[in-house]
Structure 1
Amino acid sequence: MTADAANPHVFDATTDTFEAQVLQKSMQVPVLVDFWAEWCGPCKQLGPILEKLAADYNGAFVLAKVDVDKEPQLGAAFQVRSIPTVFLVKGGQIADGFPGALPEGQLREFLSHHGIEPAAPAEPEVAEVAAEATPLDPHAEVVRLRAAVAAAPEQAELKLDLALALLQTGAAHEAEQLVDALPANLATDDRTVRARARLGFAKSLRDAPPVPVLEAAIAANPDDLRARHLLGVQHIVGDRPAEGLEQFIEMLRRDRTFEDGLARKALIDAFRVVDDAALVGSYRRKMSSLLF
């Protein structure tokens, strides 16, 4: 009952590939993780239904199959006590799950509850030549987008674009007002998620000590994880992402349970706002090695 090679939306996940194929993938599309075994009767009932839905939903979610006999570390990491057990992973985090074999109707309701609906067939790809983009001046972009919003105030997407531009200039309060006023259909947009991550970082720095004070606090007490968190956020918003991510990773090394998993949450939010894909990938692997 391994993944069907004919279905591009189903794959076998292993300990080595889990970070890239599940955690990273879940930043773009929801991932259902099916923990199963060859000897499990209910697994043989549930598996084909999940695979059918993965095909029917045409990429609206992907299905990762984990054989608990071959990958005991993953079963232990997810605290799987019985099989089949299914988890929904979104944005690098477990969003929901259920034990046992559910009928197709209940599985569709489960997916719908989390906003997952069948996707339309993909349009044929059209080759495009991308011109070299000149980096935009965020202040000039704010001016341009203010004019665009004034001309078409009914277009919520323009307001989201303006909020993101405002965040680039440090105008977090106005950006937050715009994001909070967005309609429900944009609430899960990748750009909205990115904006909220940036706003969360901005809020955490209100009344925060300056960088030299935080560095001195860490030098005096390397286990001062609150100072490490604030220093990491300062570096992330100050365009020093590698240094910020390193502080969050060090927090995770020292105490992954600190303030209800603050280090992991900070890393997930940082992955959403850092533009360097190679750097993000490197630190995703570091996070995965510490968590699994």
Structure 2
Amino acid sequence: MFPTFGKGPQTPETQTSTTQTTAADSDLIKDADMQSFARDVLDASMTMPILVDFWADWCGPCKQLTPALEAAVRDAKGAIKLVKINVDQNQGLAQQLRIASLPTVYAFFQGQPIDGFQGALPGSQLKQFIDGVIQTAGGTQAAGGGEGEAVAQAMEQAKQLVTEGQSEQAAAIYGQVLQHDPENLDALGEYLRLLIDLGRAEEAKMAFDQLEDETKATPQLQPVKTALELSGEGPGAGAIPELMERIAQDSADHQARFDLALALYAANKKEAAAEALLDIVRRQRNWNDEAARKQLLKYFEAWGPADPLTVEMRRRLSSLLFA
């Protein structure tokens, strides 16, 4: 079972979803799982905000929040959609997103988490939260060529530069955005992650350590926290030839393959590191208490849910786990 939740006894009344989605709601409200998360949340959020409700049958507050969420989404009349994730049936996804208590709600837009909360909010606060998400997602379009639109264009340019491998230029643009909008957590998270990728982890750590605890705990900064933790793991790049030789001599040496993944990651060879971990899962899924799968989940969080490498490697991991 998912380790951080205290699951209570199941009764016939609680063995089904907290609410039933009608056919009329199917376009606005849907259930999703690990396999459909990229399509139903990440891809869908490229054009409109998506609320993700993490719930469980045994969670009492979930039974209050989920119906209120559904009602608020209906009231928004197509400006926002709701995706529901049962954590008991999708423990890997919940762990990847660090869902530590229920209910938890994240708001995604353009493939990134932009806001979130835990616990059941009163109706007035829930409406205020959803209105804020909608405004954040649509505010730049309504700015009509003002500063908000300029920031949005700069963010898009930075994202494009990252996909083209021009991380230095992208980091510079995110830095400029932060000069104009210091409270832009999306820009801050991307900027610090790029610093780590560029070998400037100490600089990123100094900036991260200066943030308030509340800011550090936001969804946008969680990938940075994980990436900083990963940056100090594993042997250096010099160990790669030795580890590869050990594996060549004994293909069942999973510890060498795991250490190789850490060394490859430290050398910024992310795809090769993920491949090494997937190889362990393929050969012996439960080795060392599923250490390879857990390490992959850390990588996914550090890279961000919308990163193409995260999407591809998560798909391949799922195909191995559920084959």
TM range (shorter): 0.5 to 0.7
Of residues 292, 295, 298, the one that matches 1:266 is 295
In the other structure, the counterpart of 1:32 is 54
1:3 is paired with a residue whose SS is coil
Shift in CA distance, 188/20, structure 1 to aligned 2, threshold 3 Å: farther
Count of aligned pairs: 251
In the other structure, the counterpart of 2:130 is 119
CA distance in 2, matches of 1:11, 1:144: 34
In the other structure, the counterpart of 2:196 is 167
Letter in 1 for 2:100: A
Q: Deviations over 1:54-97 (max 9, x none)?
A: 4437869742469xxxxxxx86x86xxxxxxxx99364455345
Alignment of 1:207-222 (within 5 A): 210-222=239-251
Confirm or deny: 8 A CA contact 1:159 1:178 kept in the other structure: no
CA distance in 2, matches of 1:61, 1:90: 20
Alignment of 1:63-78 (within 5 A): 63-64=84-85
Q: Deviations over 1:180-230 (max 9, x none)?
A: 221123223454222223222221125675211111122222233332223
Shift in CA distance, 256/9, structure 1 to aligned 2, threshold 3 Å: farther
Letter in 2 for 1:3: T
Structure 2 spans left out of the alignment, 5+ residues: 1-18, 43-49, 104-116, 143-148
CA distance in 2, matches of 1:176, 1:241: 20
In the other structure, the counterpart of 1:89 is 94
Normalised TM-score (structure 2): 0.56
2:94 is paired with a residue whose SS is strand
Confirm or deny: 8 A CA contact 1:33 1:65 kept in the other structure: yes
User: Quick check: 1:51 aligned with 2:80?
Assistant: no
Alignment of 1:190-269 (within 5 A): 190-206=219-235, 210-269=239-298
Per mean C-alpha deviation after superposition, the further-off stretch among 131-140 and 159-168 is: 131-140
Cα RMSD, aligned residues only = 4.9
Per mean C-alpha deviation after superposition, the further-off stretch among 117-126 and 54-63 is: 54-63
Shift in CA distance, 35/177, structure 1 to aligned 2, threshold 3 Å: same
Of residues 217, 227, 238, the one that matches 1:188 is 217
Higher helix share goes to which structure?
2
CA distance in 2, matches of 1:188, 1:60: 24
Confirm or deny: 8 A CA contact 2:192 2:204 kept in the other structure: yes
Of residues 21, 28, 31, the one that matches 2:37 is 21
User: Quick check: 1:290 aligned with 2:295?
Assistant: no
Shift in CA distance, 109/160, structure 1 to aligned 2, threshold 3 Å: closer
CA distance in 2, matches of 1:119, 1:279: 30
Confirm or deny: 8 A CA contact 2:237 2:264 kept in the other structure: no
Letter in 2 for 1:290: L
CA distance in 1, matches of 2:292, 2:205: 23
User: Quick check: 1:3 aligned with 2:25?
Assistant: no
Confirm or deny: 8 A CA contact 2:274 2:296 kept in the other structure: yes
Shift in CA distance, 111/30, structure 1 to aligned 2, threshold 3 Å: farther
Shift in CA distance, 56/35, structure 1 to aligned 2, threshold 3 Å: same
Confirm or deny: 8 A CA contact 2:201 2:228 kept in the other structure: yes
Identity %, equivalent residues: 20
